[in-house]
């Protein structure tokens, strides 16, 4: 599994990209020598135009099939596939998908990309392969659609115009052991997805861009009309007293003093630039919010806070166009500066059914901190944002952030379908599914988030 080459001519560290760079008209620097014998000859781009057609207004997803690598590139007996292209239209996020959503990729995925800003190639970067733990619950309409695919986590690489990817299966183990055989295969239909997030999000007060509208735009905006004006790019924060008044307006008089945190500022889908025509029509709801699952996006930490809307647009497109989900999977996202973003459409104050914790999406919400936190510590601003968001949203449904609750499993690798499971009201993804998410460093901060959220609620 660890037998990869670890260096290539001209490789260098990835430079941070600028959100304002336009790459469709840039001349490409000389290509590095091709290292894979069979670069893919076919691709699909949806829905924007190809590289020769100018800049993509609404972003694009380019899908390129991987091919077996030549013997001089690989060592050992483990199957390996890859792709090298130095003539790619601009992209900023990369992932690998395959046909069967239930198949796991037992192996290693590495990529390097060429920066539009510097013209230099990055070093090899690992892509998180275990992504089967995200998604809709088994048996639901979203999960049962024939559009869903298996996939790695997406990796944010900044504005790039060249790609080199290699996928190697785990090396075969000794004959006669329990793991022999099946783990030495790669899932069929491997292809790399190159995502261009499209142009920047609108500013507050800007007219609605006709290029951004679609049949679902008004509905997504109207879903928040119970707490904010139509077409706003952000929902402003409220003080504790005004939040209490809003709760009464939304739910009617309460018999006792409510425990609810002040509503935090939330950037709406229009604020981060969602192209609503990408997602499925309508919304899906659950009955209530009893728990919050905290995630990381595993997309890397090489983004600036000004780039966060582009990262979210890329993840949105990856979830919908590459993985086949109805919308972005998370209900909310939080960047490293502590900004909170609306995720799946349907209304931030409502019980929107997400696709974040396989088996436990019903009666819960998913919050993803943008980045990878297996080794890197999350910022204090991000942890505070998680606490403020959960104090408000859980408070709308009477949940205590320091408490426990029961959720019924919809099926997963930890709990069978139908099992009633006792969980923390604020849990990590790994509490509902056997996964590394949200990374050990972020998971270690959940106790802080719980205590702060309870304090915001006045408990």
**pLDDT bucket at 208, cuts 50 / 70 / 90:** low
pLDDT digits (tens, 9 = 90+) for 177-190: 554 444 558 999 99
The per-residue DSSP string of 375-419 comes to SSPPPHHHHHHHHHHHHHHHHHTT--TTSEEEEE--S-SSS-TT-
**pLDDT bucket at 231, cuts 50 / 70 / 90:** confident
**Taking Cα atoms as reference points, which of 203, 206, 196, 207 lies closest to residue 57?**
196
Bridge-partner residues for 107, per DSSP?
169
The answer to whether the Cα torsion of 12, 13, 14, 15 is positive or negative is: negative
**In 240-352, which residue ranges form alpha helices assigned H by DSSP?**
240-251, 269-272, 308-317
**pLDDT bucket at 170, cuts 50 / 70 / 90:** confident
**Architecture of domain 217-456 in this structure:** 3-Layer(aba) Sandwich (3.40)
Residue with tokens 């719980």: 450
Share of the chain above pLDDT 90, in %: 66
Mean pLDDT of 383-403: 97
Looking at per-residue confidence, does 244 or 72 come out higher?
Answer: 244
- pLDDT of 15 reads 34
Triad 157, 158, 162: Cα angle to 5°: 75
- pLDDT of 398 reads 94
Task: Specify the pTM.
Answer: 0.85
pLDDT at 167 over 50: yes
In the chain, where the domains are located: 44-196, 217-456
What tokens does 31 get? 């290509």
pLDDT digits (tens, 9 = 90+) for 255-312: 778 899 999 999 999 999 999 999 999 999 999 999 999 999 999 999 999 999 999 9
**Taking Cα atoms as reference points, which of 386, 385, 431, 426 lies closest to residue 403?**
426
The per-residue DSSP string of 345-361 comes to SS-TTS-B--SSSTT--
Residue with tokens 């995200």: 134
**Taking Cα atoms as reference points, which of 369, 367, 407 lies closest to residue 389?**
367
Q: CA 459 to CA 456: how far, in whole Å?
A: 8
Q: Which are the contacts of 323, defined by CB distance < 8 A and separation ≥ 6?
A: 97, 135, 148, 149, 151
**pLDDT bucket at 134, cuts 50 / 70 / 90:** confident
Q: CA 3 to CA 19: how far, in whole Å?
A: 36
Q: CA 212 to CA 77: how far, in whole Å?
A: 49
| Burial zone of 399 (CB within 10 Å; 0-12 exposed, 13-18 middle, 19+ buried) | buried
Q: How many CB atoms lie within 10 A of CB 310?
A: 27
CA 147 to chain CA centroid, Å, is 18
pLDDT digits (tens, 9 = 90+) for 317-356: 999 999 999 999 999 999 999 999 999 999 999 999 999 9
Mean confidence (pLDDT) of the chain:
83
- pLDDT of 144 reads 79
What tokens does 27 get? 């001349």
The answer to whether the Cα torsion of 51, 216, 274, 441 is positive or negative is: negative
């Amino acid at each position: 599994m660890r037998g990869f080459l670890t260096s290539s001519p001209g490789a260098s560290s990835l430079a941070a990209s600028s959100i304002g760079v336009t790459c469709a008209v840039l001349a490409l620097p000389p290509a590095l020598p091709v290292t894979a014998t069979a670069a893919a000859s076919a691709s699909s781009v949806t829905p924007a135009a190809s590289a020769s057609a100018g800049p993509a207004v609404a972003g694009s997803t380019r899908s390129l099939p991987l091919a077996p690598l030549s013997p001089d590139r690989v060592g050992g007996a483990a199957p390996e596939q890859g792709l090298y292209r130095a003539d790619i239209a601009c992209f900023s996020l990369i992932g690998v998908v395959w046909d069967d959503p239930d198949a796991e990729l037992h192996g290693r995925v590495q990529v390097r990309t060429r920066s539009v800003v510097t013209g230099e190639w990055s070093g090899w970067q690992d892509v998180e392969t275990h992504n089967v733990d995200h998604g809709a619950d088994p048996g639901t309409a979203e999960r049962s659609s024939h559009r869903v695919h298996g996939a790695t986590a997406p990796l944010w690489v900044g504005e790039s115009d060249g790609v080199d990817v290699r996928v190697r299966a785990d090396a075969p183990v000794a004959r006669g052991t329990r793991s022999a055989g099946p783990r030495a295969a790669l899932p069929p239909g491997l292809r790399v997805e190159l995502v261009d997030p499209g142009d920047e999000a609108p500013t507050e007060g800007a007219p609605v861009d006709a290029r951004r509208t679609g049949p679902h735009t008004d509905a997504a905006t109207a879903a928040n009309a119970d707490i904010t004006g139509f077409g706003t790019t952000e929902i402003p924060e409220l003080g504790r007293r005004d939040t209490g008044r809003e709760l009464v307006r939304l739910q009617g008089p309460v018999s006792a003093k409510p425990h609810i945190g002040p509503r935090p500022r939330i950037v709406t889908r229009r604020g981060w630039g969602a192209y609503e025509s990408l997602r499925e029509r309508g919304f899906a709801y659950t009955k209530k919010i009893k728990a919050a699952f905290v995630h990381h996006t595993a997309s890397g930490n090489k983004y600036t806070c000004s780039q966060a809307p582009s990262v979210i647009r890329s993840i949105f497109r990856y979830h919908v166009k590459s993985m086949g989900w109805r919308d972005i999977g998370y209900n909310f996202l939080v960047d490293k500066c502590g900004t909170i973003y609306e995720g799946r459409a349907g209304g931030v104050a409502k019980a929107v059914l997400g696709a974040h914790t396989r088996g436990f999406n019903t009666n819960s919400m998913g919050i993803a901190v943008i980045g990878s936190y297996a080794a890197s510590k999350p910022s204090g601003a991000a942890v505070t944002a998680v606490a403020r968001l959960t104090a408000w949203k859980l408070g709308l449904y009477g949940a205590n952030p320091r408490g426990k609750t029961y959720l019924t499993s919809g099926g997963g690798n930890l709990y069978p379908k139908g099992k009633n499971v006792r969980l923390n009201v604020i849990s990590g993804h790994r509490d509902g599914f056997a996964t590394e998410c949200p990374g050990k460093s972020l998971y270690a901060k959940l106790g802080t988030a719980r205590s702060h959220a309870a304090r915001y609620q006045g408990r």
